[in-house]
Each structure stands twice: as C-alpha cells, then as structure tokens.
Amino acid sequence: MSNKATLSYNEKTYELNIHPGTMGDEAVDITNLMGDSGLITLDSGYKNTGSTKSKITFIDGDKGILLYRGYPIEQLAEKSNFLEVSYLLIHGELPTDVQMAEFSGSISNHTLVHENVKKFLDAYPSNTHPMGVMMAVICSLSSFYPNNANPKTSPEEVEVTIHRLMAKMATIAAWTFKKSMGHPYNYPNNKLGYVSNFLQMMFGLRTDDYHPDPIIVDALDKLLILHADHEQNCSASTVRMVGSSHVNLYAAIAAGIGALWGPLHGGANQEVIEMLENIKAAGGDVKKFIEKAKDKNDPFRLMGFGHRVYKNFDPRAKIIKQSCDQVLAKLGINDPVLDIAKQLEEAALNDPYFIERKLYPNVDFYSGIIYRAIGIPTEMFTVMFALGRLPGWIAQWKEMREMGEPIGRPRQLYLGNGPRDYINIQKR
Ligand code: MLT
C-alpha cells in the first residue's frame, strides 16, 4: 500500500503523503497543498474531509460497526453503564474501582446548580423550546463557576469542570422540564444513581419517594450510552471548532447543544414522533402513508428511517429496539401513536421498497418511542440526546486541546463580485 499520492496540475506534479488509520479510512495530507500549488480543496459539509486525528470513536457505516475507544457498542450497552462509558470516552480507558468511585462521587457532589439559575428559567416564556434554555443556561455556568476550562486552567480544574457539566446538565434538563410543566423543581437525590436521580428530578413528586422502574432505568441508561459519541458529527465538530478558539468548555458545549438542536441532527427523534402524531391526526392509515413515502412526487418522507452514515443498519437501533419492546411490554402502554410506530416498523423491516433502499428504523425511531412511553414530552427528546452526547463532546474537546490543535479556519471558493467602485444608487 503506497504512502504517497501525486497530483498533476498545470504541468507540475505534487507529492502528497498518505496517512493510514488504525482502522477504516486512509487520509491524503493536504497541509502543504495550498502553499505548494496555490490550490485549496472544496468539500461542502466536509463529508469527505478528515478534520482531525482522533482515538475516541470509530464507525464503519457499511458494516454497522460503532466502537468507543475500541470497545464495541454492543458490549458496552450490555455490560457497562453510562457513567463508566463517559469515563472511558473522556479518559481513554475503563476506570478502576477507585477511579470510578472518584468520578461518580464527584459528579454526585456537583448536581446542585446555583439558585439564581431558577431566575433564568422563570424569565423564559412557558412555551420556550428546552434546547434553547439548555444552550443559554449551560453557557451561563461559565459565569457561576470561575474555574472555566481554558488554556490557563489546570488539569485538575478542567476535571472539576467536566464533573460539573456532567452533573449539572441533568439537573438543568430536569428543571427545564418542570418549568415547562409549571411544576415545582425536584432537587437532586445523590443517594440515587445518575439515571434514577434524573428520573426522580423529572417525575418524582417529592425527592425521597420516587422509585423508578428498573426496566425504564436500564432503557434510559442504554439510550444515553448509545448516544454518547459518534465521531465528527455536526455537534462534535462544532464543539471542536468553538473550543479551538480557547473559549471556556461551557461555551463550547453550549455551541454543541445549538448544533444538536437542528432537525437534521439531534432534532430527528422529535421529528419522528411529530410524524407519527400527524399520521394519527390524518386518520392513522399507515398503509396510505407508506404509499405516500414511496411516491417520489409526494412530499411526505418517513422520519427515523435510514441513516447518512450507516448504509445497512444502525447498530444502536438494533440494541435499543430490544429495550423499546421491553419498556412497552412492561408499561402495558395503549397509545395509538406507538401502535402506528409498530406498524411502520413492521413495514420497513419487511417491505422490499424499504429493504432495497436500506430504510430501516434508526436509533431516533426507537428512542422517540421509549421517551414518549415513559412520559418525556416530545420537545425534551433532543435534550435527552444532548445528555447522552455530553461525554462525547467533552472527550472531543479534551482531545483537541491535548493535541494542541490550532484554531479552526477553513478556506472558501469565492464566487462573488470582483473589485468595483462605489456609486450611490439611492435617489437623494
Ligand atoms: C449522531 O449520532 O451524531 C447522528 O447519528 C448524526 C451523525 O453521526 O452524523
């Protein structure tokens, strides 16, 4: 396998180094291309461009492989838990007993937020989208906690900032939900595990009397693990880009929340339920909507099927489908919207049209069903995605800072006007 590539241009030949990965893609290094040839590259959306070198997550979209620090997602979902996976992503190795106790213990100690955060929440209209609140309040943590994670911050202070974010984001998410319901806030109960504590802050009537169903706790813990990282997706790349300016970690994470909010990214699970509710409102004729989805002249598209990265199946969806079936069976839910979801799933898994086009149910399809079944409102779905993706964002930011990566500054292909003189065209 050659470690060089050549580019011929204007009767000159340029030699470019090829870098092999541990697995997957090889990269042609264009670091010196512009200096040598005057050429830049063009790749809108960077879908063919490696923005960095990373050791965190590996995806093989054709084979449906997802590894966190080399561990298959299937094994982590079955044998680990969200906080341990968070430690693995952030620090690169599975924690020892002592490391895990310190990590989870410190996170438990930081679950409270400054009481003034309530003034933020009270200031928002009741119909505010929770992702807008999360983005603003998480960024505002940089005002409440002086040891921001920036170049002058010691590794110890960065670690505390990481623990603060892991702990407080769950509290802020739950309080944002309570605010939207007009309910009083539940304070963290640090005797509970991470997911159980989040659920009691969300649904507990009083902090010490809520005991979540273990099947729901397990399903949510798996969902958080499955969402924890996904290579250089839109929000992770945003966190790295914003973090490359050496702004504090809270602001970089807030930027990631903003990117994830988009319906083309983290908002997809919300779009799935809204699609199901629209089908129900139109009479619930699933067969009619399946035909509409097949009709290229019909604007209706199925949300939650297929994936831009996974060409054959989403490994995360295969895992969470089992939890989805367990949660629905355990709760004995009778919800027409979820019945519609099961009919669509059945069609997608058996209809040649969907099979040929690899339009299989993805992780957003099943996660939305679970969230709805346990009573999480649709607008909170992307907040759940953000809670899961937080350790991945932190890991990406930490790797970028530790690698000493420069500030991100892409080039452009300019198609605008050439130089022209100013002539006022307004009528005096
Ligand atoms: C994700 O998990 O971030 C989404 O699947 C989107 C992506 O990876 O591009």
What is the rounded CA–CA span in Å between residue 135 and residue 364?
Answer: 21
255 CA to centre of ligand 1 in angstroms: 16
Query: Are residues 73 and 27 part of one domain?
Result: no
Provide the whole-model pTM.
0.94
> Is 309 a pocket residue for ligand 1 (Cβ < 6 Å)?
yes
Pairing of strands 57-60, 26-28: unpaired
Query: Are residues 199 and 79 part of one domain?
Result: yes
316: in domain: yes
Pocket perturbation via mutation, ligand 1, pick of 224, 232, 257, 265 by most ligand atoms within 8 A of CB: 265
Query: Are residues 393 and 295 part of one domain?
Result: yes
What is the rounded CA–CA span in Å between residue 175 and residue 253?
Answer: 19
Q: Is 331 exposed, middle or buried (0-12, 13-18, 19+ CB in 10 A)?
A: middle
Q: Which domain holds residue 19?
A: 4-41
77: in domain: yes
pLDDT band at residue 332 under the 50/70/90 scheme: confident
Active site residues: 307, 364
What per-residue confidence (pLDDT) applies to 149?
Answer: 62
pLDDT tens per residue, range 225-251: 999 999 999 999 999 999 999 999 999
Pairing of strands 26-28, 12-20: antiparallel
41 CA to centre of ligand 1 in angstroms: 24
Query: Are residues 228 and 280 part of one domain?
Result: yes
230 CA to centre of ligand 1 in angstroms: 6
Which residue minimizes the CA distance to atom 8 of ligand 1? 233
What is the rounded CA–CA span in Å between residue 290 and residue 368?
Answer: 19
Query: Are residues 145 and 20 part of one domain?
Result: no
414: in domain: no
What per-residue confidence (pLDDT) applies to 312?
Answer: 85
What is the rounded CA–CA span in Å between residue 133 and residue 146?
Answer: 21
297: in domain: yes
Query: Are residues 250 and 116 part of one domain?
Result: yes
pLDDT (mean) for 104-113: 96
What per-residue confidence (pLDDT) applies to 131?
Answer: 96
87 CA to centre of ligand 1 in angstroms: 20
pLDDT at 82 over 90: yes
Percent of the chain with pLDDT over 70: 98
422: in domain: no
Pairing of strands 65-68, 71-72: antiparallel
Those residues whose C-beta lies under 8 Å from the C-beta of residue 10, and which sit 6 or more positions away, are: 37
Query: Are residues 206 and 99 part of one domain?
Result: yes
What per-residue confidence (pLDDT) applies to 178?
Answer: 94
Q: Ligand 1: which atom is nearest the Cα of residue 362? A: 5
Query: Are residues 396 and 298 part of one domain?
Result: yes
Q: In whole angstroms, how far apart are CA 26 and each of 179, 366, 427?
A: 49, 33, 59
313 CA to centre of ligand 1 in angstroms: 13
> Is 233 a pocket residue for ligand 1 (Cβ < 6 Å)?
yes
> Is 230 a pocket residue for ligand 1 (Cβ < 6 Å)?
yes
259: in domain: yes
421: in domain: no
For residue 269, what is the domain's CATH number? Answer: 1.10.580.10
pLDDT tens per residue, range 347-404: 888 999 998 988 889 999 999 999 999 999 999 999 999 999 999 999 999 999 999 9
Q: Ligand 1: which atom is nearest the Cα of residue 231? A: 8
- CA angle at 386 for the pair 383 and 388, rounded to the nearest 5°: 115
pLDDT tens per residue, range 126-172: 889 999 999 999 999 999 987 676 667 889 999 999 999 999 999 99
Query: Are residues 234 and 186 part of one domain?
Result: yes
27: in domain: yes
What is the rounded CA–CA span in Å between residue 370 and residue 361?
Answer: 14
265 CA to centre of ligand 1 in angstroms: 7
pLDDT tens per residue, range 252-283: 999 999 999 998 888 888 889 999 999 999 99
Structure-block tokens of residue 379: 């607008």
pLDDT band at residue 207 under the 50/70/90 scheme: low
pLDDT band at residue 311 under the 50/70/90 scheme: confident
Q: Ligand 1: which atom is nearest the Cα of residue 227? A: 2
Query: Are residues 60 and 24 part of one domain?
Result: no
CB 147 within 8 Å of CB 75: no
Query: Are residues 102 and 30 part of one domain?
Result: no
What is the rounded CA–CA span in Å between residue 400 and residue 46?
Answer: 18
Which residue minimizes the CA distance to atom 9 of ligand 1? 233
Question: Domain total for the chain?
Answer: 2
Query: Are residues 352 and 223 part of one domain?
Result: yes
